[in-house]
Amino acid sequence: GVKALEEGLQILGAEALGSEPGDRVAILMELGRVQGQRCQFQRALGTLQAAQRLLERGQDPEQQVELLGLLARVRFAQGQPDAAYDHLREALHSARILDDPERQAECHLLIGSLRSLEQSLAPALHHLEGAIQRFNGLGDAVGSARARVWKARTLAALGETVGAEMELLNALSMPPGSLTAAERGDFAFLQGEISVFRGGLGDAIRLFGLASELFEGAGLVWRERLARLCRIQAEASSFGGKGSTGCLEGSWAVLEQMKAQIEGSGSRWLDMEWHRAHALLLMAAPESTEVVASEALSAWSEAQAAARELRLPSVALEASTQSAALLINRSEKLGARSRLQDAYGTFQDLWSRIPEEHAMAFLGRPDIHRFQRAVEEAGLRFVLPERVDPLADWTPTLVNLPLASR
C-alpha cells in the first residue's frame, strides 16, 4: 500500500506538474495516515506538513479539516498535546464555517476521545454527545457507535459502571460486518479499558489481546503495540506479586522485544506505556529485592515524567501511588509521604474535573482506592480537596496532605 502511494506521488510529479494540488494532497494525506499507523510518526509529520503547504495554495477547506485531524493524532502520539488541540480547534472552526455536520461530528469525536484520555471527563462527555447527535442526524449508525464506545469509556472513568454498560450495549448492537478491522480493534481495546476501570483485569487481558490481534491483522502497528503494552500491564496487575515468576515470563519476553521498537518510534505515549508496563512487572516479582525495588522506582519516575508531558494525570497519580507503596514496604515513610504530597496536586487536578453528580462514583475507582490506602499507610490523612479550577501547571507544592493525628 505504501509503495503504491509513493508511486502515485511520482506519477503526479512527472505528469501533473502545475495542475491542481488536490490529488497530490489526497495521496500525501493517505500516506501520512499510513505512516502514522505504522508507528513512523516523524515521517508521518513531514508528509502531512507537505500536504499542508500544498493546501495553503489550493485552499480546499474540506481537505483542510481532515488533514488537521490527522496532524492532531500524530502530535498527540508524539507527546505534544498543545499542538494537537491547536489543530483540532482550527479543524472544528473550519467545519463549522463549512456547515458540514459530518466533519463536525468527526472533530467532536476526536476532541472527546483525547479529552477522555486525559481525564477531562466533563468536556469529553460534552464533545462525545455532540458527535452522537450529529452522527444520528446523518443516519450514520457506525459513527454513532464509535462515539458511544468512547462515551462508555468516559463514563467508566467517572466510575459510572452501569451507565458505561448501557452505552456499550448500544454501541455493540452494530453487526460486526459493518465495522472495519480498525473499528473492531478499537471497540475491543476500549472495552478492555472499561474493564480496567471496573477492576475486571481478567476480561481486560482477553480484550487487549483480541485488540492487538485485530490491529496486527490490519497492519495498524501503532495501535497493536499500544494494545500489547496494555495487556502486559493488566497481566502484571492481576498477578499481584504472588506466585512464581514463570507466570509472567511471556510478558517479560514481549516487553523486552518491544523495547527497541518503542525507542525508535518517536512516540512519548508508547514510551510512557512501556515504562508503566516495566514498573508493574517489576512490582509483580515474588521476591522484591533492593535492586528490583530501585528499578521499579526508576521506571515509575520515567512513566510519571511522560504522563506529565502528555497531561495524563491519572497515570501520574498511579506512578506516585505505586512509588509510595514501594517506599512504605522498604520502611521509608518519609520518602513515601513526599511522593504522596507531590501526588496530592495531581489528585486535586483530577478531582476538580469531575462533575459534582459523579463525585462519589469517581471515588470508587480502584486506582483512587489505592491512592487513599497509600496515603493512610504513610501516616497521612486523606482529605478531599475543595472544588477549584485545575492548577495552571503541574507544580504540586501549593497544597500539602496533613499528618494524621496520633
Burial status of residue 29 (CB atoms within 10 A of its CB: 0-12, 13-18, 19 or more): buried
Helical H segments across 172-248, by residue range: 181-198, 201-217, 221-239
Contacts of residue 14, defined as CB under 8 A and 6 or more positions apart, other chains included, come to: none
Whether the Cβ atoms of residue 44 and residue 74 lie closer than 8 Å to each other: yes
Q: At what angle do helices 41-58 and 61-78 cross, to 10 degrees?
A: 160
| Separation of alpha carbons 194 and 84, rounded Å | 25
| Separation of alpha carbons 159 and 155, rounded Å | 6
| Separation of alpha carbons 98 and 61, rounded Å | 8
- Cell (9 digits) for 331: 520502611
What does the angle CA 144 – CA 145 – CA 146 come to, to the nearest 5 degrees? 90
Above 70 in pLDDT, residue 374?
Answer: yes
At residue 16 the predicted structure's pLDDT band, cuts being 50, 70 and 90, is low
- According to the model, what pLDDT value does residue 388 have? 55
What does the angle CA 322 – CA 383 – CA 126 come to, to the nearest 5 degrees? 80
Above 90 in pLDDT, residue 9?
Answer: no
Above 60 in pLDDT, residue 290?
Answer: yes
Which amino acid makes up residue 327? L
Whether the Cβ atoms of residue 100 and residue 64 lie closer than 8 Å to each other: no
Above 80 in pLDDT, residue 244?
Answer: no
At residue 154 the predicted structure's pLDDT band, cuts being 50, 70 and 90, is very high
Q: At what angle do helices 313-329 and 268-283 cross, to 10 degrees?
A: 30
Which amino acid makes up residue 394? W
Which amino acid makes up residue 135? F
Above 50 in pLDDT, residue 26?
Answer: yes
Task: Give the Å distances, CA to CA, from 93 to 97, 114, 276.
Answer: 6, 18, 36
- Cell (9 digits) for 10: 511520482
SS3 labels along 62-86: HHHHHHHHHHHHHHHHHCCHHHHHH
Beta bridge partners of 380: 403
- According to the model, what pLDDT value does residue 173 have? 87
User: Could you give the percent of the chain with pLDDT greater than 70?
Assistant: 90
Q: Average pLDDT in the 305-327 region?
A: 93
What is the number of other CB atoms lying within 10 angstroms of the CB of residue 86? 15
- Cell (9 digits) for 398: 501549593
What does the angle CA 193 – CA 74 – CA 234 come to, to the nearest 5 degrees? 20
User: 108-111: long-range contacts (C-beta < 8 A, 24 or more apart)?
Assistant: 108/134, 108/147, 109/143, 109/146, 109/147, 109/150, 110/69, 110/72, 110/73, 111/85
pLDDT tens, residue by residue, 252-271:
999 999 999 998 888 999 99
Q: Average pLDDT in the 299-309 region?
A: 94
Above 90 in pLDDT, residue 23?
Answer: no
| Separation of alpha carbons 353 and 374, rounded Å | 22
- According to the model, what pLDDT value does residue 12 have? 79
Could you tell me the pTM of the whole model?
0.89
Nearest to 152 by CA among 136, 168, 141: 168
* Range of 201-210, 321-330, 363-372, 386-395 with top mean pLDDT: 201-210
Above 50 in pLDDT, residue 393?
Answer: no
